[in-house]
Amino acid sequence: MGLEVSAMDGRVMLVTGGTGALGSAVSLAALRAGATVVVTYRDEREWMTLTDRAPQGGRERLQGIRADVANGESVRRLIDEVTARHGRLDALINTVGGFAGGDLVATDERAWDGMLTLNLRSAYLCCHAALPTMLAAGRGRIVNVASRSVVPPAGGFIAYTVSKAGVIALTQALAQEVRGRGVTVNAVLPSTMDTEANRRAMPSADRRTWVPTDSVARAILFLASDAAADVTGTLLAV
């Protein structure tokens, strides 16, 4: 499922949360495949770390924009800046997200709203803002990140489960809305990913079944490529 170097030459890809654990894996893989990559970030140190890791020849194709993707006005400015600078937007990869545990009784309104905002509202706003540009061009790729642990829904982290299930519904409904118009909409559903944050949160867990972020990134890039032009509304478990 890997892509050849230059497979995405000339393509402009926006990776929200592109300096995070999964986002940076996607961004670096896309740079290696020849894409121009725009990432959103909140932490300056994470942005500098990503630029330091950019492959040879890739740094000039990497752009960072500080943005709050849970804020509608910030997202609209983001898309305007990308299209003004590059004249196109070929792929939107929504990697912004987070996890919170707790059953329903233990989940207060703040925790509930926080998960819906971080995981679902951010995906909605970015899709809503980016889609007109893609439809006008007659082509585009949208890839959202849901979770294998919510299919079927599990207990114990209900706000997270509902928010990621919402991402799945958004993905499949939007795929139907734009079917036949050159835009595909898909989602990847990783199981537990091998990240520093997960290692800190679960130090005694058996990591042999955890998924490397590079594996998830390869799946995302496949869905964002021409090779997946006929794939839409798909939930790809990794």
What gap in Å lies between CA 78 and CA 18, rounded to an integer?
14
Of the candidates 131, 125, 133, which has an alpha carbon nearest to the alpha carbon of residue 68?
125
- Residues 18, 26: contact at Cβ < 8 Å? yes
Whether the predicted pLDDT of 12 surpasses 70: yes
Q: In the block, which residue shows the tokens 């409904």?
A: 173
- Residues 53, 30: contact at Cβ < 8 Å? no
Report helix, strand or coil for 41.
strand
More confident residue, 213 or 1: 213
Please report which confidence band the pLDDT of residue 191 belongs to, taking 50, 70 and 90 as the band edges: confident
Whether the predicted pLDDT of 148 surpasses 70: yes
What gap in Å lies between CA 73 and CA 117, rounded to an integer?
15
What gap in Å lies between CA 199 and CA 202, rounded to an integer?
5
65: left (phi over 0), alpha (psi -120 to 50) or beta: beta
For residues 132-137, average pLDDT: 98
Residues recognised as catalytic: 160
Instruction: Quickly list DSSP for 87-149.
Output: S---EEEE-------B-TTT--HHHHHHHIIIIIIHHHHHHHHHHHHHHHHT-EEEEEE--GG
Task: Output the CA angle 110-112-114, nearest 5 degrees.
Answer: 65
Whether the predicted pLDDT of 6 surpasses 70: no
Cα 220 from chain centroid (whole Å): 8
Whether the predicted pLDDT of 77 surpasses 60: yes
Domains of the chain: 12-99+112-149+167-237 (3.40.50.720)
Please report which confidence band the pLDDT of residue 176 belongs to, taking 50, 70 and 90 as the band edges: very high
Please report which confidence band the pLDDT of residue 16 belongs to, taking 50, 70 and 90 as the band edges: very high
Give me the phi and psi of 229, to 5 degrees please: -60, -25
Full-model pTM? 0.94
Of the candidates 38, 33, 47, 23, which has an alpha carbon nearest to the alpha carbon of residue 213?
23
What gap in Å lies between CA 121 and CA 68, rounded to an integer?
11
pLDDT for 21: 93
- Residues 232, 179: contact at Cβ < 8 Å? yes
Whether the predicted pLDDT of 1 surpasses 60: no
Radius of gyration of the chain (CA): 17
Task: Output the CA angle 61-67-68, nearest 5 degrees.
Answer: 145
What gap in Å lies between CA 90 and CA 105, rounded to an integer?
43
Average pLDDT, the chain: 94
pLDDT for 114: 97
More confident residue, 51 or 199: 51
- Burial of residue 123 (CB within 10 Å: 0-12, 13-18, 19+) is buried
